[in-house]
């Protein structure tokens, strides 16, 4: 179980992350730049005393996850875009991870958007100490199937620990037969991805998100200075050049990718180019009922 001061940090990170999510979703208007929305979301997280647990993901339509706008991204939202805003902040390594989906300027995809929200909220009603992982997956899949859609089977919820966004347990959105249980003291992100496509994602192009992959000596002094900055600012968490307060950050990210110090995340694309929606809460398991740390 977390100590009281640790739990306070987890709750603060969750509160800020949840508010940032709602802000980001409210800014997804026709003609708005993805870059501007990402900057606003991340600025809110930092202005409210938290670091960035990962870059603000703004993934549209068939892109399920792992896209954030680059420094020179001029792309804008169009009417009918189905947009996932996935963001997170940390406080002393305690992380809030949360996401929501919004349709830009229209209301034709309301049912599929509500389906991922309904599945997440179904889990919120019973997740707690002793609940088997496969029961969570079964509940998600049953809810989504009733709505006439499919879960994305190879995207999972996950346990979170201090400084580690994906730690320990994975929580699939279907019954995988895993009867291991959620334990008191765990922090768990539940994030059903729902689609009208094939139910799987495949890797696409890099989505501008990187992580430090290996500890390697860097000879160039300025590149080493940037790497030291990234370690201090983001620790071992994912980041992007746009989020760096460092001159020519994109240049140094590219250099470190070539050196193999950084690894890049691929965009995750629905296999049949189906629309994907996502809703995510972080839960702290403090007993028979999990506490939502990232509620609005």
Annotation marks residue 166 as catalytic = yes
Name the pTM for this structure: 0.97
User: Tell me, which fold does domain 4-204+272-292 have in CATH?
Assistant: Creatine Amidinohydrolase (3.90.230)
* pLDDT the model gives residue 190: 98
Examine the pLDDT at 168 and tell me if it is beyond 90.
Answer: no
Marked catalytic residue, from 114, 129, 166, 235: 166
Distance CA 61, CA 196 (A): 11
Marked catalytic residue, from 42, 86, 103, 141: 86
Annotation marks residue 158 as catalytic = yes
- Rounded to 5°, the CA angle 111-114-116 comes to 115
Distance CA 86, CA 73 (A): 18
CATH of domain 205-265: 1.10.10.10
| Parts of the chain belonging to CATH 3.90.230.10 | 4-204+272-292
Distance CA 256, CA 46 (A): 25
Distance CA 75, CA 42 (A): 18
Annotation marks residue 141 as catalytic = no
pLDDT digit string, tens, across residues 187-232 = 999 999 999 999 999 999 999 999 999 999 999 999 999 999 999 9
Marked catalytic residue, from 15, 103, 191, 270: 191
Given strand 94-103, what is the order of strands in its sheet? Answer: 51-60, 82-91, 94-103
* pLDDT the model gives residue 287: 85
| Parts of the chain belonging to CATH 1.10.10.10 | 205-265
Marked catalytic residue, from 15, 42, 103, 158: 158
Marked catalytic residue, from 62, 97, 103, 270: 97
- Residue 102's alpha-carbon distances to 64, 86, 94, 238, in angstroms, are 13, 11, 27, 24
* pLDDT the model gives residue 296: 82
Contacts for 178 with CB less than 8 Å, ≥ 6 apart? 132, 133, 134, 172
Annotation marks residue 47 as catalytic = no
Distance CA 252, CA 223 (A): 6
Annotation marks residue 235 as catalytic = no
* pLDDT the model gives residue 5: 98
Annotation marks residue 164 as catalytic = no
């Amino acid at each position: 179980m977390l100590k009281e001061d640790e739990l306070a940090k987890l709750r603060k990170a969750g509160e800020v992350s949840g508010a940032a999510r709602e802000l980001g979703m409210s800014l997804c208007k026709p003609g708005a730049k993805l870059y501007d929305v990402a900057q606003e979301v991340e600025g809110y997280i930092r202005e409210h005393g938290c670091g960035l647990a990962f870059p603000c993901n703004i993934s549209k339509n068939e892109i399920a996850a792992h896209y954030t706008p680059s420094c020179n991204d001029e792309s804008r939202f169009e009417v009918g875009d189905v947009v996932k805003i996935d963001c997170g902040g940390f406080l002393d390594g305690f992380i809030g991870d949360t996401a929501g989906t919004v349709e830009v300027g229209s209301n034709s995809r309301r049912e599929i958007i509500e389906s991922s929200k309904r599945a997440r909220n179904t889990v919120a009603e019973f997740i707690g100490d002793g609940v088997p992982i496969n029961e969570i997956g079964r509940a998600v899949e049953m809810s989504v199937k009733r709505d006439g859609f499919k879960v994305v089977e190879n995207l999972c919820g996950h346990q979170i620990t201090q400084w580690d966004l994906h730690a320990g347990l994975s929580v699939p959105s279907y019954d995988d037969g895993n009867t291991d249980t959620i334990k008191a003291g765990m922090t768990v992100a539940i994030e059903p991805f729902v689609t009208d496509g094939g139910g799987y994602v495949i890797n696409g192009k890099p989505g501008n998100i990187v992580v430090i992959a290996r500890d390697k000596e860097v000879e160039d002094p300025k590149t080493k200075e940037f790497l030291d900055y990234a370690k201090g600012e983001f620790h071992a968490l994912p980041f992007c050049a746009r989020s760096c307060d460092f001159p020519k950050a994109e240049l140094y990210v590219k250099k470190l990718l070539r050196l193999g110090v950084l690894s890049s995340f691929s965009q995750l694309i629905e296999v049949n180019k189906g629309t994907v929606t996502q809703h995510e809460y972080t839960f702290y398991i403090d007993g028979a009922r999990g506490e939502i740390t990232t509620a609005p």
